[in-house]
Chains A and B, each alone.
Chain A
Amino acid sequence: MSRFKVEVRVTPRPGLLDPQGKAVQHALDSLGYEGVDSVRVGKLLVLELEADDAAAARARTEEMCRKLLANPVTEDFLIEVSELAPVEAE
């Protein structure tokens, strides 16, 4: 078993209206940052968990995403797994 840090990036689906992103884009525009074509606002969830290996950590997180962390109707998710440290056997 190892400990993993898993980052889950949840973003509004492409093509879906993202009023929050739009508001941020307008704010950037009014600050003089020209040429920002698009802003999408999502969220980042950082998990720490134990798993046999990186693939198992990813598989478990995918299940969590489908069940709770992302709404399949409106959001996409992206998972990044990095190993923290092996768990000492007792």
Chain B
Amino acid sequence: MRIAVITFPGSNCDHDCYRALKLLDGVEPEFRWHRDTDLGGVDAVLLPGGFSYGDYLRAGAIARFSPIMEAVKAFALDGGPVVGICNGFQVLCESGLLPGALLRNESLRFQSYPVHIRVETTATPFTSHYRKGQVLRIPIAHGEGNYHAPPEVLAELEGDDRIVFRYCTPDAGLAPEANPNGSAHHIAGIVNEARNVLGMMPHPERAVEELLGSTDGLGLFQSLVNHLSAGATP
């Protein structure tokens, strides 16, 4: 199966994503440049982290209008699986594929360290390999990851089981000090209504080998591969 990794000017996790995908049997990652207009018939799309277009204006605001995003939008609306990590999450929110926005961290500091996140739902193409309630240790690295949405949107996300990951303590608790950026409801990742578009701030591609200190991110990519090989055509 072929999975596209999109590179915007300023993306800096594209090669990490490529490498993480390479670790999985049967996956052929391919780079797509922001100026491309065609995804080339891939089975899934990954929007990597970084600082697309220098984060000018707002993180993700300009990337959203790049030529490739038209194709990504059409792919997503057609049911194709799309994962946005960190800056990719910001791009997905700006493009309207996911609700809400990512504000500056409450601490005002760029936070870069491993956090614990709790798997809130396994009913997505990206988390079926995990257990509900499982705690993962995955790094974050962002200055604007403070998830915000109007109360009615938060209620909808809660009610429809669309919160995929929440920041938590190592033993799965939701203490305020486990929330690294001030996100509403401890949100670290959400899916869209159709559940085929995931946005998350933590970096699963940085937790795929023992050498990196954790392999907890592998399950996300493995889930996606399982989903695609189960014949659920995008």
Enumerate chain A interface residues (CB-CB to B < 8 A): 16-17, 19-20, 23, 68-69, 71, 73-74
Interfacial chain B residues near A23, Cβ < 8 Å:
108
Residue of B93, B148, B149 with most partner-chain A CB within 10 A:
B148
- Chain B: interface size category: 20 to 34
Going nearest first, the 8 A-B pairs with the smallest beta carbon separation are A73-B101, A74-B101, A19-B108, A19-B104, A23-B108, A19-B106, A71-B101, A71-B58
Enumerate chain B interface residues (CB-CB to A < 8 A): 57-58, 61-62, 65, 93-94, 99-101, 103-108, 146, 148-150, 182
Which residue of chain B has the shortest Cβ distance to A69 in the bound complex? B57
A-B contact pairs, 23 of them (CB 8 A): A16-B103, A17-B103, A17-B106, A17-B146, A19-B103, A19-B104, A19-B146, A19-B182, A23-B108, A68-B61, A68-B62, A68-B65, A69-B57, A71-B61, A71-B94, A71-B101, A73-B93, A73-B99, A73-B100, A73-B148, A73-B150, A74-B103, A74-B148
Which residue of chain B has the shortest Cβ distance to A67 in the bound complex? B65
Which residue of chain A has the shortest Cβ distance to B181 in the bound complex? A19
Which residue of chain B has the shortest Cβ distance to A45 in the bound complex? B57
Interfacial chain A residues near B104, Cβ < 8 Å:
19-20
A16 to B149, CA, bound (A): 10
Interfacial chain A residues near B61, Cβ < 8 Å:
68, 71
Q: Would A17 and B149 be within 8 Å (CB), given that A23-B108, A71-B101 are in contact?
A: no
A67 to B177, CA, bound (A): 36
Interfacial chain A residues near B99, Cβ < 8 Å:
73
Interfacial chain A residues near B100, Cβ < 8 Å:
73
> Are A17 and B182 interface neighbours, CB within 8 A?
yes
